Amino acid sequence: MNFDINSSERETCVLIPHGKIDSQTYLEFDEAVKQALSLSNNLIINLQDTDYISSSGLRVLLSARKALPSNGNLTLTHVNETIMEVLEMTGFVDMLDVQQESVDPSGLKVIFFDVDGTLLSHTTGQVPESTRRALKKAQENGVKIVIATGRDIVELAKLPVMDLNFDGYLTLNGNICLDENKKMFDGNEIDPGEVEILVQIFQGGRIPFVLIGEEGRYINFVDDVVINTQNATHGTIPETGKYHGEKIYQCLGFVAKDVRERLEKLLDNCSITSWNDTGIDIIAKTGGKAAGIQKFLTRENLTRSEVMAFGDGENDMAMIEYAGIGVAMGNGKDSLKQVADYVTSSVDEDGIENALKHFGII
């Protein structure tokens, strides 16, 4: 038996076993699970290449679940019918987050789209005409379309996407949730105690740092790293400003990998994802795009089996895993493709239109 372990995403480790997990292979499986857990407390076991799991394999899962800290997660994805029957019979389906192999696309009610590299081409800085056609047709067929982005609504307004009629906007990685009229209906602020530390970083002025509240965003200072990072991602540079005690929903840092790693060790109640080699998002650990989707579904009285999501980057990982059907763009990260239900072509090769046609949505 062999395994693929992907730990390039700092928050999540993905383990892909190949073959049956039984009395002959469970020790190898156990070793692989322990290795994965040493890398992250959030473990996804992708069973797309696993035919069957016996009691020996279940004992490994049980041990792994017990070993996780209270803030850890163990998720099984791409579970086939045979394994699902085993999990249901033994009650494991009640103690683990289990996602079956496929969802009937005819029941989809809403699709969530990342912006940069998904709706918006990094090459042209525009939304491809094929994407515009596809989104319009999906809405005509009764499917809601919603943005799920790390950007705020002010920055979105400066991009060539807002002429499309979206049914909602999950901004700041799902931490500010807006309805179709761009009115906030829910949010997820960073813990006030953690904000004190983030404000100290902002005021310390050692690294370029952005604080983002409900009403706007501001940076402590601008240097070449900020300018080059934003130019590479068609981003805008916030005005410099001071903190006045407002709620903070997200921070941005323009930092190298080593600084990101130090921040991850420092911040107990925040999670960090990268959107560029020198650009990071800092949000509450309880936040993220998947959490934003949950808030939207509660508002609309929908379930995750009625959800499709498109993304290309690290901050899309949880969303792609959470959705009933998660689609990775062809230009996306390899680690995201490994956990997606489907990999479409790139944004510049009609990726969204091709995927929606593949699933019969349009």
At 134 the pLDDT is: 97
Residue ranges covered by each domain of the chain: 2-100, 105-188+288-358, 192-284
Same topology, domains 105-188+288-358 and 192-284? Answer is no
At 167 the pLDDT is: 97
CA distances, 58 to each of 25, 30, 64, 308, 357 (Å): 12, 10, 10, 30, 38
At 304 the pLDDT is: 85
* DSSP secondary structure string for all residues of 172-216: TTTTEEE-TTS-EEEE-PPPHHHHHHHHHHHHHTSS-EEEE-SS-
At 303 the pLDDT is: 85
Question: What is the assigned CATH class of domain 192-284?
Answer: alpha beta
Question: Could you tell me what percentage of the chain is helix, strand and coil, using 3-state DSSP and rounding each to the nearest 5?
Answer: 35, 25, 40
Using alpha carbons only, how large is the chain's radius of gyration in Å?
Answer: 21
Name the nearest CA neighbour of 275 among 191, 179, 149.
149
At 102 the pLDDT is: 62
pTM for the model stands at 0.68
Name the nearest CA neighbour of 295 among 178, 212, 190.
178
Name the nearest CA neighbour of 49 among 83, 92, 24, 97.
83
Which CATH superfamily includes the segment(s) 2-100?
Answer: STAS domain (3.30.750.24)
At 101 the pLDDT is: 61
Residue with tokens 């498109």: 310
Which CATH superfamily includes the segment(s) 105-188+288-358?
Answer: HAD superfamily/HAD-like (3.40.50.1000)
At 7 the pLDDT is: 59
At 250 the pLDDT is: 94
Residues of the chain with pLDDT under 50: 9-10
At 312 the pLDDT is: 95
- Spatial neighbors of 255 by CB under 8 A, at least 6 apart, are 207, 208, 225, 263, 278, 280
